[in-house]
Amino acid sequence: MRRAITSLVVVAVLGGTALAGPLGPVPGGREDRFRAANELARVGDYPKAVGGYAALAGSGAESASLYWNWAQAASARGASGEAIWALLRARELEPGDRAVTRDIQRLRESLNLDPAEIAPESRRLHLDLLAALLLALSVGVHGLARLGRGPRAAAAAAGVLFALGLAAAAVPFAGSFARPTAAVVQRGAPLFDAASPAAEPTGSLREGEVVPVLEASGVWLRVEDNAGARGWARSADVRRLDRAPQPPD
pLDDT in tens, 89-115: 999 888 888 889 999 999 999 999 998
Residue 127 reports pLDDT greater than 90: no
User: Does one domain contain both 99 and 129?
Assistant: no
The answer on 139 and 96 residing in a single domain is no
pLDDT band of 177, cuts 50, 70, 90: very low
Using a cut of 0.85, tell me whether the model's pTM lies above it: no
pLDDT band (50, 70, 90) for residue 138: low
Domain span at 53 = 2-112
The reply to whether 246 falls in a domain is: no
Q: Specify the CATH number for the domain of residue 217.
A: 2.30.30.40
Q: Is residue 30 part of a domain?
A: yes
Euclidean distance between CA atoms 225 and 219, whole angstroms = 18
| Cβ-contact 38, 46 below 8 angstroms | no
Assess if residue 247 is contained within a domain.
no
Residue 245 domain-assigned?
no
Same domain for 100 and 18: yes
Domain boundary among the residues 151, 175, 199 is at: 175
Q: What is the pLDDT of residues 221-249, one digit of tens each?
A: 999 998 899 999 999 999 999 888 876 55
Is the domain of 35 the same as that of 79? yes
Helix axes 46-58, 64-76, angle to 10 degrees: 150
Residues 148 and 217 placed together within one structural domain of the fold: no
Number of structural domains, the chain?
A: 3
pLDDT tens across 12-50, in order?
444 434 334 555 556 656 889 999 999 999 999 999 999
Q: Rounded to whole angstroms, what are the CA distances from 121 to 88, 102, 116, 140, 186?
A: 14, 19, 8, 29, 22
124 — pLDDT class (breaks 50, 70, 90): very low
* Three-class DSSP category at 78: coil
137 & 35 share domain: no
Distance CA 50, CA 185 (A): 13
Segment 197-214, tens digit of pLDDT: 999 999 999 999 999 999
- What whole-number percentage of the chain has pLDDT above 70? 63
104 & 38 share domain: yes
**How remote is the C-alpha of 227 from its chain's centroid?**
15
Distance CA 189, CA 237 (A): 6
Q: Which residue has the higher pLDDT, 174 or 178?
A: 178
- Distance between first and last Cα of the chain: 35
CATH of the domain at 29: 1.25.40.10
- The answer on 126 and 99 residing in a single domain is no
Residue that finishes a domain, picked among 112, 143, 165: 112
Closest-CA residue to 161 (of 133, 138, 140) = 138
Residues 213 and 140 in one domain: no
Residue 244, pLDDT score: 82
Query: Measured on CA atoms in the order 112, 118, 120, 124, is the torsion positive or negative?
Result: negative
